[in-house]
Structure 1
Amino acid sequence: MNKKIAIASKNTVKINASLEGMKKILPKINFEVIGVDVSSGVSDQPMSNNETWQGALNRAMNAKAEVVDADYWIGMEGGIDKDDDGKMYAFAWMCVIDQDGDIGKGMTGLFYLPPKVQQLVEEGIELGHANDQVFNEHGSKQKGGAVGSLTFGALGRTEYYVQALILAMIPLANKEMYF
């Protein structure tokens, strides 16, 4: 069986994470992948849980408007927030929409940012660029991301996103139990 997925990004990390996650939860399906550049409709650096979810949802909806003949539309949005002590943490939301319009939501684990990175983000610098400055990297968003830098490569951005994508697919892959 073949299915088409439209991913609301042309970033290879997000495309690979989507494809890997879909293959893991639906292993008998062959997937055709289309990456599209669409707007998140939120800040370049979402600064709350709600804004980050809204960005993922908007991206999936905008991908659906762009690629109408897909079977699944996927939006991913990385964001940051602060805990009650003012310490900043990063995470990402995954949104998957199927042909029936049903929505699956999945979230990555969160990790805390070091003070140097937090300071740069508070000054208005997007996390990926702040990460590049602090760790003397270039284009980390298209590679291991902040999670990769902070874990010394033990956990890369693709792997980090795969699990959340699989979690987002739970209600869609088990529709008879959820809808």
Structure 2
Amino acid sequence: MPIFFDRQGMSTSRNHRTIINVLAKKFALQRPTMESPQKQKLVVVASNNIPKIKATRDGFTQMLPDSYNFRGISVDSNVSDQPFSDEETLRGATNRAQNAQAARIEADFWVGIEGGVETHNGSICSFAWIVVFGKDGKVGKARTSAYFLPERTCQLLKDGVELGHADDMVFGQTDSKNKQGSVGLLTGGVVDRAAYYTQAVILALIPFRNASLDF
């Protein structure tokens, strides 16, 4: 039996194949390519204190957006438990960053945060220093704002009590330095310890944000 071909049908079929090929190529171009996962940068905080780690995380993610892994480790500050001058407090933050670097040499950044107090006309104010080391050799430093402490707290500090313990005694708290800190207790939570440190972490990262400038 003879076989007859419908020219119109063949043309229609050919058109369908052409459309399918065009669509296949289009979807192939739109299909997302598999990219290798971005390596996280390791930031080592020279403390296991919760507000210090949170402040470091918040400061880095705001100032230098990237993919990070934040790790806290316990290291010595090589200064007194309660630094009593600006110089000693800065030295403590620097020592913490250096000791963290020695302990975790594979990291990308090392952050030392040290809280201290100093006297002003018989009163005592509280503050902190932040020191950041980068694996490229850059160093960033910044000091927080300062605030004055109540007389009861000042007397305990003069008696040799560390600020965190003095706060617990004055305000009837437990381990307040791992929570809101003295600044949080005194401001009624308007500014907690993590938020208090965060701005200084951001300022300490200025040299890293402006890599082409010398500091």
Q: TM-score, normalised by structure 1?
A: 0.97
Q: Deviations over 1:147-178 (max 9, x none)?
A: 00000111000000000000000012212012
Tell me the alpha carbon deviations over residues 103-146 of structure 1, each in whole angstroms, 9 at most, x when there is no partner. Answer: 10011100000001000000000000001111111110000100
Secondary structure in structure 2 of the residue aligned to 1:175 = coil
Q: 2:76 aligns with which of 39, 43, 49?
A: 39
Aligned pair count reads 177
- Corresponding residue for residue 168 of structure 1: 204
Write the letter of the residue equivalent to 1:92.
A
Pick from 131, 154, 161 the counterpart of residue 167 of structure 2. Answer: 131
Is the aligned partner of 1:24 residue 2:59? no
SS at match of 2:84: coil
1:82 deviation in Å? 0.7
Query: Given residue 148 of structure 2, which amino acid in structure 1 is its aligned partner?
Result: Y
Amino acid at match of 2:71: I
Residue aligned with 1:178, SS: coil
The 3-state SS of whatever aligns with 1:176 is coil
Identity %: 45
Structure 2 partner of 1:73: 110
Q: Measure the CA separation in 1 of the matches of 2:119 and 2:101.
A: 32
From 176, 179, 182, the counterpart of 1:140: 176
Indicate whether 1:102 and 2:102 are aligned.
no
**What is the Cα deviation at residue 101 of structure 1?**
2.0
TM-score if structure 2 supplies the norm length? 0.81
* Secondary structure, counterpart of 2:61 in structure 1: helix
Q: 1: CA distance between counterparts of 2:176 and 2:114?
A: 16
Q: 1:28-61 deviations in whole A, cap 9, x for unaligned?
A: x010111110000000000000000000000000
1:58 is aligned with what amino acid?
A: N
Question: Which residue does the alignment assign to 1:151?
Answer: 187
Between structure 1 and structure 2, the one with the greater Rg is 2
Separation of aligned partners in 2, 1:159 and 1:6: 19
Q: Which amino acid aligns with 2:174?
A: H
Higher relative contact order (CA 8 A, sep 6+): 1
Residue 49 of structure 2 corresponds to 11
The alignment status of 1:111 with 2:153, answered yes or no, reads: no
Give, in whole Å, the separation in 1 of the partners of 2:47 and 2:209: 23
Query: Distance in 2 between the 1:172 and 1:110 partners?
Result: 25
CA distance in 2, matches of 1:81, 1:103: 25
Take 1:129 and 1:137, find their aligned partners in 2: how far apart are those partners?
9
Q: Distance in 1 between matches of 2:138 and 2:64?
A: 17
Which stretches of structure 1, 4 residues or more, deviate above 2 A after TM superposition? none
RMSD over aligned CA atoms reads: 0.9
Residue equivalent to 2:4: none
